[in-house]
Chain A
Amino acid sequence: MNNKNLILNIENLVVHYETENGTVKAVNGIDLKLNKKRAIGLVGETGAGKTTTALAMLRLVPDPPGVIKSGVIELDGENILEKSIKELEKIRGKDISMIFQDPMTALNPVFTVGEQIAESIILHEKVSTAEANTRAKEMLEMVGIPGHRAKDYPHQFSGGMKQRVVIAIALACHTKLLIADEPTTALDVTIQAQVLELMNKLKEEYQTSLIMITHDLGIVAEVCDEVAVMYAGRIIEQGTLRDVFNKTKHPYTEGLFNSLPNVNNRKAKLQPIPGLMPDPTDLPVGCSFSPRCPYANDNCRENKPIPRWISDTHMVECSAYDDPTFHIARGEK
């Protein structure tokens, strides 16, 4: 790998929540690499460990009960996990920013939006308050809100506009890596498209890399270059958009696609994945997906699968491919 181009490198990240009622294994050994100016989609059901992974990148996993057990998280060549709190405060918001799920609650109700954008600038750059305010106004206009509204409070904005403000805060310091945690889940479908378009535009303009956490494969197809599918704290399939969408390998990914409505075949029934995610305090011995997997065999239930690289870019973690003739139903088409 050429290291200069690498913005983010996660190796064997393990995050557990140690509660009185047992250890919740939220993230169990994740490897993830992201090049500069690329966008990766982190896809999975609720509870798959997507948000925990994102919080770990900012070292914001709530502690206690969260513990980062092991692993390496390198942001632009520097290991986040070895930083002191002071150093982290400099990195957060400057090199790595996060957009939260619900814009309704992600803004502080007692400050004007202008002050909140300016705060991020003042924290990281040596500028005067007046200059920060001017730049806050510019940022607002950048995301399509008139500059004079910088003096307004969050409750005077609609949901879509609040999310724009949140994006403006995240990008105010020309961040290198932007993590968007389900940025459109709380928004109307009509606003979703606008916000995604805006993020795409700003990503180009600011040349940031993007991690898009979502459960919506449509959003991934629209925004991302690469996809990583998470299940029970592991990345089970990873590759370029084309790899994962057109040459789907993992039975779980197949299940995700089958549970989407098909525009071309309106009479087809949706095929949801049967069952639920395994209890993260008590994961199965073998493959975590084996209890729900239509292809599972005894080997799957007893032994942990290992990552398997099908091409330079495409990884799948499924033991069924030990049998060279194995293929999933979707692949046939």
Chain B
Amino acid sequence: MEKTNIVPETVLTASKLYKKRSQLADIWHNFKKNKGAVLGLIILGIIAVMAIVSGFVLDYDTQIVRQVVRERLQGPSLKHFFGTDQYGRDIFLRILYGARYSLTIGIVAVMVSLAIGGVFGIIAGYFGGVIENAIMRTCDIFSSIPSILLAICISTAFGASIFILMISVGVVSVPAFARVARASVMTVRDQEYIEAAYASGASRLRIMFSHILPNSLAPIMVQVTMRVGSAIITASSLSFLGLGIPAPAPEWGSMLAEGRSFIRDYSYMTMFPGLAIVITVLSINLIGDGLRDALDPKLKR
């Protein structure tokens, strides 16, 4: 008698569990399986919290940029975790504060390139033909210019400020976004459910943005996370070259540049900002990897 009861009940609960999981929860479930990605998420979370909190806790004028000559060039100690630089500024606090720059530049730059590249890519993929050729060939031209050179051109032309830095870093990855968006739109465009949407009388604009776009989002999302990492690196490189955020601001790239001349005797000055960049970019890439695996329908179940 028990047997007959047990079977249907398990089946019932199983189907209930299965049904209750929404798509987002499904992605999260797959994401959790990837230990590296979870680690990346935790680290990035800590960095993000530091970036936000440091803005409220630390005083920019007294703790970040004020020169304290008598404490200059001290090695790591309990008072200064990462030591001090040649002006006696605490490197640990500067790195904490610098996280704000790197993260905001990375995210805003990617949003810029997503907005420009994504829209162009969707249009190219949807319409095809002449429009596609015009857009994609322009992208080819842009991507044939070395990205750092392009970014240098833009920031020298418009001056060094955080806003210009965001734009120039963003423009660099526009072609990559256009290409990814176009490719994934093209695979979705010819699906039967798009034809079915036409057959039920949906307009072209509606099909483009409410039928094709959500279905081609997965590769674009992965590209977004991956690109945040490289945007941070590009921004830091520009700052390292003196084209990014102007001097006293504790941007990680410009801290590297400042420490460069002291690298023989005071290597911690370059090591800590470098580590900060590496850890941030690594954790973002780990998240991107995990997201890609979680969004890949082939790996489901």
- Which residues of chain B are within 8 angstroms of A109 by Cβ–Cβ distance? 193, 215
Q: Does A100 contact B (CB under 8 A)?
A: yes
- Which residues of chain B are within 8 angstroms of A60 by Cβ–Cβ distance? 195, 198-199
Cβ contact within 8 Å between B201 and A105: no
Tell me the nearest residue of chain B to A90, going by C-beta. B201
> How far is B23's CA from A116's CA once the two chains are assembled, in angstroms?
16
Q: Does A214 contact B (CB under 8 A)?
A: no
> How far is B129's CA from A153's CA once the two chains are assembled, in angstroms?
34
Q: Does B200 contact A (CB under 8 A)?
A: yes
- Which residues of chain B are within 8 angstroms of A119 by Cβ–Cβ distance? 200, 202
Cβ contact within 8 Å between B19 and A108: no
Q: Does B7 contact A (CB under 8 A)?
A: no
A93 with B201: in contact, given A105-B192, A152-B19 (CB under 8 Å)? yes
Cβ contact within 8 Å between A123 and B200: yes
- Which residues of chain A are within 8 angstroms of B129 by Cβ–Cβ distance? 64
- Which residues of chain A are within 8 angstroms of B200 by Cβ–Cβ distance? 92-93, 97, 119-120, 123, 169-170
- Which residues of chain A are within 8 angstroms of B141 by Cβ–Cβ distance? none
Cβ contact within 8 Å between B198 and A110: no
- Which residues of chain B are within 8 angstroms of A106 by Cβ–Cβ distance? 192-193, 196
Tell me the nearest residue of chain A to B215, going by C-beta. A110
> How far is B201's CA from A106's CA once the two chains are assembled, in angstroms?
15
- Residue among B192, B200, B204, B211 with the highest chain A CB neighbour number at 10 A: B200
Within 8 A of A (CB), among B179-236: 191-193, 195-204, 211, 214-215
CB distance from A272 to the nearest CB of B (A): 30
A110 with B199: in contact, given A102-B192, A105-B191, A105-B192 (CB under 8 Å)? no
> How far is B203's CA from A119's CA once the two chains are assembled, in angstroms?
12
Cβ contact within 8 Å between A110 and B197: no
Cβ contact within 8 Å between B192 and A124: no
> How far is B201's CA from A278's CA once the two chains are assembled, in angstroms?
35
Choose from A94, A98, A108, A153 the contact partner of B215 (Cβ within 8 Å): A108
Per-residue contact bits, chain A 219-243, to B (CB 8 Å; 1 contact, 0 not): 0000000000000000000000000
> How far is B201's CA from A166's CA once the two chains are assembled, in angstroms?
15
> How far is B23's CA from A60's CA once the two chains are assembled, in angstroms?
32
CB distance from B188 to the nearest CB of A (A): 10
> How far is B221's CA from A32's CA once the two chains are assembled, in angstroms?
49
Choose from A92, A101, A153 the contact partner of B199 (Cβ within 8 Å): A92
Q: Does A210 contact B (CB under 8 A)?
A: no
Q: Does A15 contact B (CB under 8 A)?
A: no
- Which residues of chain A are within 8 angstroms of B203 by Cβ–Cβ distance? 89
Cβ contact within 8 Å between A123 and B202: yes
> How far is B214's CA from A92's CA once the two chains are assembled, in angstroms?
23
- Which residues of chain B are within 8 angstroms of A101 by Cβ–Cβ distance? 192
A92 with B195: in contact, given A110-B23, A152-B19 (CB under 8 Å)? no
Choose from B191, B192, B195, B201 the contact partner of A120 (Cβ within 8 Å): B201
Chain A interface (Cβ < 8 Å from any Cβ of B): 58, 60, 64, 85, 88-94, 97-98, 100-102, 105-110, 119-120, 123-124, 152-153, 156, 166, 169-170
In the assembled complex, 8 residue pairs joining A and B whose CB atoms fall closer than 8 Å, in A order, are A58-B199, A90-B201, A97-B200, A100-B192, A100-B196, A108-B215, A123-B201, A153-B23
